[in-house]
Amino acid sequence: MILAFQLVSFTYIWITLIPNVCAASNIKMTHQRCSSSMKQTCKQETRMKKDDSTKVRPQKYEQLLHIEDNDFAMRPGFGGSPVPVGIDVHVESIDSISETNMDFTMTFYLRHYWKDERLSFPSTANKSMTFDHRLIRKIWVPDIFFVHSKRSFIHDTTMENIMLRVHPDGNVLLSLRITVSAMCFMDFSRFPLDTQNCSLELESYAYNEHDLMLYWKHGNKSLNTEEHMSLSQFFIEDFSASSGLAFYSSTGWYNRLFINFVLRRHIFFFVLQTYFPAILMVMLSWVSFWIDRRAVPARVSLGITTVLTMSTIITAVSASTPQVSYLKAVDVYLWVSSFLVFLSVIEYAAVNYLTTVEERKQFKKTGKISRMYNIDAVQAMAFDGCYHDSEIDMDQTSPSLNSEDFMRRKSIRSPSTDSSRIKRRKSLGGHVGRIILENNHVIDTYSRILFPVVYILFNLFYWGVYV
């Protein structure tokens, strides 16, 4: 009986307690499961918030600058006074100067300053914000272009060289790195002793003086250059900034800024390549005045050589300089030098002709050519340009002697004649210089003095005028 009572009690307790224990364990497991799921949910929510904040960040800048709230297709202060735009330039280099194309290429930093209150933003630290080229497409910027430019581009390595800086009060700085090839109206009347004045002109394309006022930000100090900037053919003498107005009949007056620079050409290269060879050719042509007038081949070949050389120099200089319709300084020098060389050839033609006329007159009067010389007949020079030391040799060149007279004179020659001929030839060898001086034509005598004097006076006048 006792045993049956214990069995019934144990069964009752088991039935009563086991469901409560299971329920408690289920509640605990459910709580743990809910806690882990809540943590995951919190993490997911935190991650979503971070992602959302990352996505919203550019929108905050756009909202901060009021880009979406304003129409930036219109200039600042539209309908009111013109917007002032300050400019300053830092010249990095002058890459090239082309006389043939009459242009120059320049690389520089162009900076714009203006105020756009639509871009103002609150800032406790009063710090500016800096952007790259992507923001420029969304706001208003000045439309500056280069007058008379042929080619221009903004450098884009490794990104476009554009910087935009916005201050809290709405002041904006836009900086660009640009290379421009523009025209330079050059005057070559003094080339290569010339000085060229070139300028790069900046102007707004769409906005006239009623909408945009263009000015140098810091006056004359707005234009800066590199300290050691040089060119191969020019000295850079001066850089200056100036401003003015340009008028167009259809659109009105526009503000225009000028970057002026003065270039003076190096002369040493042209002295070596052009002037010095021309001087040598002119002086070489004077040598013919000291050669005997009967040496026809020597004097003619020398004159022709100098004339052809001067023609070559003139052709080479013309090919390397612009083809202009007026006379250049180098053309004046080369053509005068060439004319003097040509005159030396004409001078010998006159000397040779007058010598021939005189000899014929003397031959008709005396029957001998040698009377016009201050030496013996056997030492006279014949028409072939060689010295002859016997009358028989003279007879070989005389047009009035026939072949029978020549054979008769040749047959009666004696050994004594030959010995005296040898003696006279030896005596002639020591007096060649005296013979040449005594037998020069008067034109040669005066040309030795006149030609150098004229050329020296021309050089004094030329370098005095152009230098």
Can you read off the two tokens belonging to residue 115?
């105020």
Question: Is the peptide bond prior to 417 cis by the omega test (within 30 degrees of 0)?
Answer: no
Pair (106, 227) in one structural domain: yes
Global confidence as pTM: 0.68
- Total domains present in the chain: 2
The range of the structural domain enclosing residue 340 comes to: 270-363
Determine the residue type at 172: V
- State how far the Cα of 454 lies from the Cα of 372, in Å rounded to an integer: 31
Q: Are residues 208 and 304 in the same domain?
A: no
Give a yes or no: residue 70 inside a domain. no
Give the model's pLDDT for residue 137: 86
Q: What pLDDT, on the 0 to 100 scale, is given for residue 15?
A: 60
Distance CA 305, CA 325 (A): 29
Tell me, what's the pLDDT at 120?
A: 87
* Last residue in a domain, options 265, 292, 323: 265
195 with 88, same domain: the answer is: yes
In a domain, 10, yes or no: no
Residues 190, 302 within the same domain: no
d(Cα 217, Cα 176) in Å, to the nearest integer?
16
Return the pLDDT at 241.
Answer: 95
Query: Among 363, 379, 410, which residue terminates a domain?
Result: 363
Residues 99 and 242 in one domain: yes
Residues 179 and 284 both lie in one domain: no
Q: Is residue 407 part of a domain?
A: no
Work out the end-to-end distance of the chain between its first and last CA atoms, rounded to an integer number of angstroms. 149
Identity of residue 300 = V
Whole-number Cα distances in Å, 274 to 271, 311, 316, 318:
6, 12, 9, 11
Burial 80-100 (b: 16+ CB within 10 A, else e): eebbbbbbbbebbebeebebe
pLDDT value of residue 376: 45
In a domain, 144, yes or no: yes
Whether residue 152 is found in the same domain as residue 251: yes
Residue 294 is part of a domain; what is its CATH number? 1.20.58.390
Amino acid at 265: R
Is 399 a member of any domain?
no
Pairing of strands 149-154, 171-183: antiparallel
Flag whether 355 is in a domain.
yes
Distance (Å, whole) CA 388 – CA 380: 6
Q: Does 300 share its domain with 201? A: no
Nearest to 133 by CA among 161, 97, 109: 161
Residues 246 and 276 in one domain: no
Task: For the chain, give the secondary structure using H, E and C.
Answer: CHHHHHHHHHHHHHHHHHHHHHHHHHHHHHHHHHHHHHHHHHHHHHHHHHHHHHHHHHHHHHHHCCCCCCCCCCCCCCCCCCEEEEEEEEEEEEEEEECCCCEEEEEEEEEEEEECHHHCCCCCCCCCEEECHHHHHHCCCCCEEEECEEEEEECCCCCCCEEEEECCCCEEEEEEEEEEEEECCCCCCCCCCCEEEEEEEEEECCCCCCCEEEEECCHHHHEEECCCCCCCCEEEEEEEEEEEEEEECCCEEEEEEEEEEEEEECCHHHHHHHHHHHHHHHHHHHHHHHCCCCCHHHHHHHHHHHHHHHHHHHHHHHHHCCCCCCCCHHHHHHHHHHHHHHHHHHHHHHHHHHHHHHHHHHHHHHCCCHHHCCCCHHHCECCCCCECCCHHHHHHHCCCCCHHHHHHHHHCCCHHHHHHHHHHHHHHHCCHHHHHHHCCCHHHHHHHHHHHHHHHHHHHHHHHHHC
Q: Quote the CA–CA distance of 281 and 273 in Å, as a whole number.
A: 13
Last residue of a domain, one of 265, 298, 318: 265
- My answer on whether 260 and 287 are in the same domain is no
Do 291 and 206 sit in the same domain of this protein?
no
The mean pLDDT values, 10 residues at a time, for the chain of 467 residues are 59 57 50 49 51 45 64 84 96 92 95 92 82 87 95 92 92 96 94 94 95 93 89 91 94 96 93 95 94 88 94 90 89 96 94 87 71 43 45 45 49 52 52 52 90 97 93
Does 260 share its domain with 278?
A: no
Is residue 84 reached through a cis peptide bond, with omega within 30 degrees of 0 on the bond before it?
A: no
What was the pLDDT predicted at 158? 86
Domain-embedded: residue 66: no
Residue 90 falls within a domain, yes or no?
yes
In the numeric block, the tokens 């800086």 are attached to 165
Q: Which residue has the tokens 């003015």?
A: 244
Question: Domain containing 143 — which CATH number?
Answer: 2.70.170.10
Residue 390: the pLDDT is 43
pLDDT for 24:
52
